[in-house]
Amino acid sequence: MLSVLIPTYNHNLLPLVTALNRELLELEIPYEILVFDDGSTEWLEENKKVGEFPKTTFRRYEQNKGRSAIRNALATSAKYTMLLFLDADVMPVSTTFIGTYVQTIKTNKATVIYGGVAYNEEKPPIENRLRWEYGSNREVQAVSERQKRPHFVITQNVAIQKEVYLNLNIPTSNFYGDDLVFSQELKRKQIEVLHIHNPVYHLGLETSQQYLEKALSAVKSIVALEKKGGIDNDFTKLQQTYLKIKKSGGLGIFKWFIAPKKQKMEQNFLSEKPNLRWFDLYRLLYYIELKSDSNA
C-alpha cells in the first residue's frame, strides 16, 4: 500500500525512522521504508542501523547525486503504488501521522496529498532565527490558505501516486529549486492536490547566514528555470511582484531606493529580530539585478 521514501544527507535518521516504524507496525498495513543516503560524511554509523528496522531498506551512495536524483531513485525503487516523501530533518507532529494519510488515501481519489509543515513555537538561538521566522510565518499555513494556491507543495511531507510522480519527469540535475519544478509540473498537468492538516515539524534549521545564501541561490534558480522553461515567468509571488513593478516602469526607482539599504538589511537578517518584509525586498532586488544582467 505505502512506500515511505526518505532522502538524506548528513542527518541522523534514527529518531524519525523509529517513530515511523512504531506507528506502521501498529497499523498492520503493507508498507516499506526506503532511506537513500546521498553521499553523507556524517552520521554514517548511526544511519546504518536504520536498515535493521522491519521492512526498512538503507542504501548509501558514495557520490552526491542531488536531491531530485535521489528522489527519482527512491520512487523508481518503491514497490507500492502510493509514495510518501519525507525529508530527513522532519518529525511528525501527531502520533497518528501515518494513519491520517492512510485514511485519507482510502477515502479520497486525490493522487497528491500535502500534509503541511510546522515549526516549534519556542524561538531557536539567534543564529537560527531567520530560518525559523521565515518558516513559522511563511511556510506554516492553514489548509484554507494553502488551497488558494493548491499546486504549491513542499516535498518534505507529501503523498503521491507512484505513476503520477514518475510521469512528472523531474530533472535529475543537481539544482536548488526542485520543489518549484515539482509544483509547476503539477499545475501544468492539472493534477489535483488535496491539502490536509497533517504536518511535520521542520527541525533542521540552517544558520541565518546559511539560509540567506540559500535564499539567494533559490532566486538564481528561479531565473535559470525561467530560461529553461522549467517554470512560468509568473509562477511565484516574487516573479509576479517583479512583473507588476516592471509594467509600471518602476524597476529603476525600486533599485535606487532599496540598493543603498542592502548592508543594513543583511545585518538585520542576522539579528535577533529579522524583518521578513525587508527579506522579501532584498530577494526581489537580487532577482531584478539578475534579470537585468541576463537581459531577461
Rg for the chain (alpha carbons), in Å?
20
* Mean pLDDT, rounded, of the chain: 94
Q: What CATH number did the domain enclosing 183 receive? A: 3.90.550.10
Q: Is the pTM of this model over 0.85?
A: yes
Residue type, 279: F
Q: Is the pLDDT of residue 204 over 60?
A: yes
What letter represents residue 83's amino acid?
Answer: L
Do 141 and 230 fall into the same domain? no
User: From edge to edge, which strands make up the β-sheet containing 200-202?
Assistant: 90-92, 200-202, 117-118
Q: What is residue 89's predicted lDDT score, i.e. its pLDDT?
A: 96
**Burial class, 50, CB count within 10 angstroms (exposed 0-12 / middle 13-18 / buried 19+):** buried
Higher pLDDT residue, 69 or 275? 275
pLDDT tens track for 243-289: 999 999 999 999 999 999 999 999 999 999 999 999 999 999 999 99
258: domain range? Answer: 209-293
Query: If you average pLDDT over each of 28-42, 167-181, 196-210, 217-231, which comes out highest?
Result: 196-210
Within this chain, do residues 187 and 232 fall inside the same structural domain, yes or no?
A: no
- Residues 251, 115 share a domain: no
More confident residue, 209 or 43: 209
Picking from 205, 234, 259, the residue at the C-terminal end of a domain is: 205
pLDDT value at 3 more than 80: yes
Give 27-50 pLDDT, tens digit per residue.
989 999 999 999 888 888 888 899
Range with the poorest average pLDDT among 43-52, 121-130, 152-161, 257-266? 43-52
The verdict on 52 and 137 lying in the same domain is yes
- pLDDT > 80? residue 294: no
Q: Which of 188, 205, 222 is the last residue of a domain?
A: 205
Please report the pLDDT score of residue 178 as a whole number: 84
> How many domains would you assign to the chain?
2
- Same domain assignment for residues 183 and 213: no
Of 58, 43, 60, 48, which Cα lies nearest the Cα of 5?
Answer: 58
Residues 72-103: tens digit of each pLDDT: 999 999 999 999 999 999 999 999 999 999 99
Give pLDDT, residue 106. Answer: 93
The per-residue pLDDT for 177 is 74
Judge whether residue 65 has pLDDT over 80.
yes
Average pLDDT over residues 193-200: 98
